[in-house]
Structures are given as structure tokens and as C-alpha cells.
Structure 1
Amino acid sequence: MATALGATMSPIASDLDRAIAQLHDAARRLGEARAHEMALEDRRALVKRDAILRLLESSAATSATAAEKIVEQDADYARHRGDQRAAVIATLERWAEWEAARCRAWTLARAPEA
């Protein structure tokens, strides 16, 4: 395989370049997944507060302490917590992709030339 300068590149070097590019892509996706997870966590307190207020207004709870104990029953709060769980799973999946890409690049970097 020829490079931009006309020199030939071994198939291993070409594969390594692709593996490194995949590693960078996986790192970007992992960062995006983690940022999404963090944004959901940042909003959790506000969503929970709104849920407690709804419970108090609907008389489903007689005090903030009582509402705190049953807040998981609020549909919006439960949905937000579900979104958080999904984001954690997505982050772990992106981490696994990154780890696989890292292992591929590491293996190719140490492979003997053909």
C-alpha cells in the first residue's frame, strides 16, 4: 500500500492506522455517552423536586418527607430514572467498545511485520 509520499506501507501499519482511528472514534463516543449521563444526573434533583411538589399538590403525600418516600411513584421522575439507567448502560457499552479498540490497536502495534 502506497502512502502520500509514495513509500509503501505494510498491511500491519495500515491496519494499525485504522485501529488507532477506531480507538479515537470509540473514545469520542464514550465521552459523549458520559456527558449525556452526567447531564441527566445534573437534572435529577430538579426532576425529583418537581415530582415531590406534584405529590404534595395532589395530596398523595402530606409532607415533603412523605413525598420523598414515594417519589419513585411519580411517572416523570420514574421516567427520568429510567433514562439515567439507560445512559449508564450506554456508557458501559461505549467503554467496552473503547476497550476493544484499544486492545486491537495494542495487538497490532506489537505484531511482527509480515
Structure 2
Amino acid sequence: MVVSSRSPKILWRVVGTNGTLQIERGFQGQHGYLVSLYDANGQCKSSFFPFSGVTEELKAFFNDVSENTLKKGSQFVPEHRLSFVEGARDVALLEAMLKFGSRQGKQVQVKKF
């Protein structure tokens, strides 16, 4: 982590024999990650990925509900990450994290679904 201004700049950098990967949080006032890949010749390819987690998951969920509702009897397959089982797994992980914290870091089991 590098702190160099009034607003801390957070970045991760991995240097390898074939180049460097740099991930920078926030870019020119935008919320997200700037991912830069520098090859061994110094050429750089950069892409910006805005924060979109919850918004994108909700869009996908509503899209799947709409698709399934509009296409009754079809072979529609929803995004697997939006299934009830995946939701239960997410909740089980959160419960285990809370239990882990309340037990001062003692190992806990995560429910399996």
C-alpha cells in the first residue's frame, strides 16, 4: 500500500520476470480498480473496472426472473451464482465469520449446502 497524498492511494503491485501487474483502487475520482499490465518491454495495457457488485448482481437476478417468467416451459437456465443454494452458501459463510469473531479466532465449521 502506498500513501502519498491527503486521500490515501491504495495499490498492489506484483513484479515478475515477464512483467508487472498493478492494481490501483480508485482512478481520477472514479470508484473502481485500474488494472495495468506492464510487459517485459515496458509496454502497458490498462483497463478500468468500476465497482458494481451489488448493482450488477441485482440486475442479473431481475434479468433471470424476467427471463424465467416470460419463457415458461422453456429450457431457461439461470445464472448459477443466483441460485438458492449459492445464497445459502453465502449466508453460511457470513455466519461462520461472525462465529469465528465471537470465538476470538478459534476455528469454526462452515455449513455445507
TM-score for both structures, normalised by structure 1 = 0.31
Greater RCO structure (CA 8 Å; 6+ sep): 1
TM-score for both structures, normalised by structure 2 = 0.32
The structure that has the greater radius of gyration is: 1
Q: Considering fraction of residues, name the structure with more helix.
A: 1
